[in-house]
Amino acid sequence: MSNFLHVSVSCIESIIDAPATLSKPNKRWHLAFATIYCSRALHSLLNKKNKKTSKLPLSTPSFVVLNVEPHLAFSYIDHKSLTEVVKKKNLDQLREFGGVADVADALKTHAKNGIHGDIEDIARRQKAFGSNTYPRPPAKSFFYFVLEAFKDLTILILLACATLSLGFGIKEHGLKEGWYDGGSIYVAVFLVISVSAVSNFRQNRQFEKLSKVSSNIKVEVVRDGHRQQISIFEIAVGVVVCLKIGDQVAADGLFLHGHSLQVDESSMTGESDHVEVNSHHNPFLFSGTKVADGYGQMLVTSVGMDTTWGEMMSTISRDLNEQTPLQARLNKLTSSIGKVGLAVAFLVLVVLVVRYFTGNTEDENGNQEFNGGKTKANDIVNAMVRIIAAAVTIVVVAIPEGLPLAVTLTLAYSMKRMMADQAMVRKLSACETMGSATTICTDKTGTLTLNQMKVTKYWLGKEPVEDASSIDTHVLKLIQQGVALNTTGSIYRAALGSKIEFSGSPTEKAILSWAVLEFDMDMEAIKQYYAILHVEAFNSEKKRSGVLMRKKADNTIHVHWKGAAEMILAMCSSYYDASGSIKNLDDGERMTFEHIIQGMAASSLRCIAFAHIQISEEEQEISEGMQKLKEDSLTLIGLVGIKDPCRKGVRKAVEDCQYAGVNVRMITGDNVFTARAIATECGILRPDQDMNGEAVVEGEVFRNYTPEKRMEKVGKIRVMARSSPFDKLLMVQCLKQKGHVVAVTGDGTNDAPALKEADIGLSMGIQGTEVAKESSDIIILDDNFASVATVLKWGRCVYNNIQKFIQFQLTVNVAALVINFVAAVSAGEVPLTAVQLLLVNLIMDTLGALALATEQPTKELMEKPPVSRTEPLISNIMWRNLLAQALYQIAILLTLQFKGESLFGVSEKVNDTLIFNTFVLCQVFNEFNARKLEKKNVFKGLHKNKLFLGIIGITIILQVVMVEFLKKFANTERLNWGQWGACIGIAAASWPIGWVVKCIPVSEKPFLSYLKW
């Protein structure tokens, strides 16, 4: 019986899982919860025992498994009510819950160490409270893109003509023979629509994937006392999230602890004023809001669709149909060409109708087609359908429908490749705008440098310190206090003897590791002896951080400051020397310290100073009341120099940009000496460049210039030191007014205005805050300046590839348009039929776009100056190339049209096939010419573009199939080897013509400007 009723205590404990940190009320809930379930289990067993008195079980289990649902572990908290409390900021109801501490207990979260965070724990929480995801609006289906393709007016006209042609053809020739003309147009239109829909559908899917990647934000959390970064989608209720300036709040929650935390809730409320978050008056934090100042930790109370942000985001889909400036310009070009095509088509229609009704056309037997009242109505209608189809065909060939597709393909391909090159495009237009960039304003830390900081020098008083043992004990304690208590970083050691992990910004980590490894600082022990009263968090404007604290042992009040060396020095009136004595800081001593700072800065070191003062109770009350720490009469504790080495390859990347006609300017918060040293090391500044003091300025000096002087000086500035985010914004505005296309890098929250103002905003993927990323157009995933140079190269490549395709496409259009127009007016018929031109359109537009749009960047792109955004899309070089090729094709094909039958001794139908075949092969050879707009060697780098070679092969195979096997469908006749040889020979002449034409110099003045009166 005892065996039968024995319940394993460890089993119950593992199921009920009652942490020792629970408050008394919650412990009582736990006890009641365990008692109820144990009683039920025992009662159930006793009942079973009584029912089976006749037969005892042969083997009895040693324990009973209690089947407790996972969410029952959190049953003593009403999650729905808690969610509503946070959403409505109901402070009274929160107090009824027992406050934030009791909510944390109920959610089984340790306020300091967070949750365990193992797989089972997270799974249990997600099952009970949901995951931090929200359903996205459904993606556009393939059918949507098919319908979009059908909306093209040209396609609709062709379908109408195909229907009429099919109807009259079947009526005249019967079903067996009469369906070819109309059916062929149907098939060709179907192919065009299919290719267009598939292409657009695939690009849409790719943009959707990029959208998902960009929304996968990394969030810093505390698990088992250890800070770590996880995906925003892995956040669960009960998790402790760390917040700092620029972070996006990942879920709804409650403030646990922190200092000076201010949140921008404008995304939720529309109010631009920052909201202060604290334990007493407003502990509520909302998903989607941004941290504007301070730092802290929050307890997650609701995630995903339980948050207002989740509800809102599930109804919003990212607009992937954004039209870039280049697409807008191409649409304008397409429209202009389309109007010319319509005019020509209308002219052809009029000429053909007049020729028909005046009796100037003959049928296949040589008889006059129209003979007054003797001609049947059916014959007249058939003739009109044929004439309309010919006119519509001219419109089809005139409108370069492949241009929008080429842009889409180029942008999609370049986005994909840029992702592999560590650049994620958030805004499509940035791809092409980057190609026009004339100036790049870059940060220093992490972009030009590695962001792997290490303290290499420490000065105490006027002497460098080599050995920690030589430092006075009192000064050593002050250093440890200044580091341990005035920081947003943290230290984690899993067990004694294991490796120490430092977290925080690179500067914080460098200082913490220096204090721990050099001075044996015990951060947790120091924190036990002091109570933090007020904190002024670091930001890029103040360039310093301070802390007000009370020593628990004697209730004395202390202020510690840490920040940019010259700024902290200006706040000091005395300093500690190596022996621990306090010395007065007079003008002479101050000058000495300034020289020490300048010496470290000239060695590319970032200089940080520490200062301290003990204040009275009265001063403390004033400080807390004004929310401001004492900023004068401090005592300087010491100076540290932090080394941040330049990135490998950054000098070459800067030189590449400069060679390409793009100025690189460095904007940094470091002092002028550090900035000059790093700029010289990176190649931004030549050693002899700053002789007159115009190339390097401080932010404050630039800010205080008059607007006129600022505009005069801005072009000469290469380095701006000690700059604030406002100075960066001011420089961007001035450069834009001077006509520059400006790209700006930024990582901080305060960089957002400059990133938005710039033509191209580039944020940093590793060190960048979420605010900076949202304000940018492109995210540099590895924070490396070399990736910025790569983006510049890709931007130029996009523009260049589109120009190549425009040249190729317009050559096809001009040639086909002139040939059909001349033939229609002179002979009353078109040599290239509707079906043939549709297939040419399919092959040339789609496959040609794919071949030329996927050319990769070359060194030649960086040898030219940036392309002005006002420059015409069709340059003089392109006009020279396309007119030469088009004129050659027109001359050859019109010769074949009028003299081909006698020259080759062939029938009219074979001659039409020769014209069609020669026309297509001319485009195949001309596709090679289009690869290089200026260079004579069009085959350079061809072996690297396997897709181009594959498309050329597919085009030739399709042409052979159409000529040799699809006679009735394509309206062609088979050709013999000699005729094929003649076609290839005529088409191959495009290469030498292209080579000769590129020797002809062209004017800088745009070709079309000569046509204007």
Query: Which pair of tokens denotes residue 874?
Result: 């069709």
Residue found by looking up tokens 């669709």 in the block: 305
Q: What are the CA-CA distances from residue 94 to residues 79, 83, 103, 130 (Å)?
A: 12, 11, 9, 21
Is residue 890 packed enough to be buried (19+ CB in 10 Å), middle (13-18) or exposed (0-12)? middle
Spatial contact of 396 and 388, defined as CB atoms under 8 Å apart:
no
CA 67 to the chain's CA centroid: 48
**Which residue(s) pair with 667 in the sheet?**
720
The total number of residues shown for the chain amounts to 1013
**Closest CA relative to residue 246, chosen from 837, 929, 725:** 725
DSSP-derived secondary structure letter, 435: G
Q: How far apart are CA 853 and CA 802, in angstroms?
A: 7
Own/partner pairs, 866-871, CB within 8 angstroms, 24+ separation = 866/435, 866/436, 866/437, 866/438, 866/660, 866/661, 866/662, 866/741, 866/796, 867/435, 867/436, 867/796, 867/799, 868/436, 869/325, 869/433, 869/436, 869/741, 871/1006
Q: How far apart are CA 756 and CA 741, in angstroms?
A: 13
Q: What are the CA-CA distances from residue 465 to residues 222, 286, 579, 674 (Å)?
A: 36, 47, 12, 21
Own/partner pairs, 953-959, CB within 8 angstroms, 24+ separation = 954/847, 955/843, 955/847, 955/920, 955/924, 956/924, 958/839, 958/843, 959/843, 959/917, 959/920, 959/921, 959/924
DSSP-derived secondary structure letter, 449: B
**Closest CA relative to residue 115, chosen from 236, 244, 279:** 236
Whether 121 is catalytic: no
Q: How far apart are CA 308 and CA 55, in angstroms?
A: 60
**Angle (nearest 5°) at CA 50 between 44 and 54:** 135
**Angle (nearest 5°) at CA 640 between 572 and 527:** 80
Give the strands of the sheet with 663-667, arranged side by side: 423-425, 778-780, 760-764, 742-746, 439-442, 663-667, 719-721, 696-698
CA 821 to the chain's CA centroid: 47
Query: Which pair of tokens denotes residue 253?
Result: 């929650």
| Catalytic residue (choose from 443, 656, 751, 777) | 443
Burial call 140-172: b when 16+ CB within 10 Å, e when fewer: beeeebbeebeebebbebbbebbebbbbbbbee
Spatial contact of 678 and 646, defined as CB atoms under 8 Å apart:
yes
Own/partner pairs, 147-153, CB within 8 angstroms, 24+ separation = 148/197, 148/200, 149/192, 149/193, 149/196, 149/197, 149/200, 150/193, 152/401
DSSP-derived secondary structure letter, 324: P
| Largest separation between any pair of C-alpha atoms in the chain | 124
Q: How far apart are CA 176 and CA 179, in angstroms?
A: 7
Residue found by looking up tokens 């230290």 in the block: 491
Distant-in-sequence, close-in-space partners of 614: CB < 8 Å, separation ≥ 6 = 556, 557, 558, 559
Type of residue found at 120 = E
Query: Which pair of tokens denotes residue 745?
Result: 């890098």
DSSP string, 285-321: E-TT-EEEEEEEEEEEEE-GGGSHHHHHHTT------
Q: Cite the DSSP H helix spans in 724-784.
A: 725-737, 752-757, 770-775
Spatial contact of 223 and 114, defined as CB atoms under 8 Å apart:
yes
Q: What are phi and psi of 173, to 5 degrees?
A: -110, 0
Q: Which residues are catalytic?
A: 443
